[in-house]
């Protein structure tokens, strides 16, 4: 937030915008949103369509979670992890930088992509196990 305020003050009060501030701010925001994705999944903060599941019993919701995690979540996260590793490895190999004159390094922030996928995969596995246990036993862990 301080970087954004600094940029606004420099741009509008001193007519002297910076290039580095924008690039660093974008990377900080990218890091922040990727690194807390698994935490958001834990607390149910991701967008969900509950049209069908809101009328189901708790046990039926757990069964639906198990099915949807197997069909959608795990394949997507595994692909994201695999492709994210390839994407960040290529960026490290090239020591990729931004296109601007500031040329901030991009490879560190691209490394967060597979890290995010791994954390989401671990959190998803925990939710899957809880849902599976509840679907089978009818009680929470």
What is residue 19's predicted lDDT score, i.e. its pLDDT?
Answer: 83
User: What's the average model confidence in pLDDT over 37-65?
Assistant: 89
The domain total for the chain is 1
Rounded distance between C-alpha atoms, residue 137 and residue 133, angstroms: 6
DSSP label of 47: -
What is residue 81's predicted lDDT score, i.e. its pLDDT?
Answer: 98
Domain residues for the domain of 28 are 2-137
Q: Is the pLDDT of residue 74 over 90?
A: yes
What is residue 91's predicted lDDT score, i.e. its pLDDT?
Answer: 95
What is residue 50's predicted lDDT score, i.e. its pLDDT?
Answer: 80
What is residue 131's predicted lDDT score, i.e. its pLDDT?
Answer: 95
User: What's the average model confidence in pLDDT over 86-93?
Assistant: 96
In the chain, DSSP finds a helix count (H) and a strand count (E) of 6, 0
Rounded distance between C-alpha atoms, residue 7 and residue 87, angstroms: 31
Angle (CA) 50 56 60, round 5°: 110
pLDDT tier, 13 (very low <50, low <70, confident <90, very high otherwise): very high
- CA dist 44 → 17, 53, 103, 116, 127 (Å): 39, 14, 37, 16, 10
User: What's the average model confidence in pLDDT over 98-107?
Assistant: 87
């Amino acid at each position: 937030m301080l970087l954004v305020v600094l940029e606004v003050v420099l741009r509008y009060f001193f007519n002297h915008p910076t290039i580095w501030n924008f690039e660093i701010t974008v990377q900080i925001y990218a890091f922040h949103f990727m690194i807390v994705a698994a935490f958001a999944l834990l607390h149910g903060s991701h967008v969900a369509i509950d049209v069908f599941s809101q009328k189901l019993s708790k046990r039926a919701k757990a069964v639906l979670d198990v099915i949807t995690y197997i069909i959608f979540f795990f394949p997507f996260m595994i692909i994201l992890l695999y492709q994210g590793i390839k994407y960040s490895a290529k960026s490290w190999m090239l020591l990729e930088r931004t296109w601007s004159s500031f040329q901030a390094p991009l490879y560190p922030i691209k490394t967060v992509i597979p890290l995010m996928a791994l954390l989401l995969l671990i959190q998803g596995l925990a939710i899957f196990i809880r849902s599976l246990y509840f679907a089978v036993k009818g009680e929470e862990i």
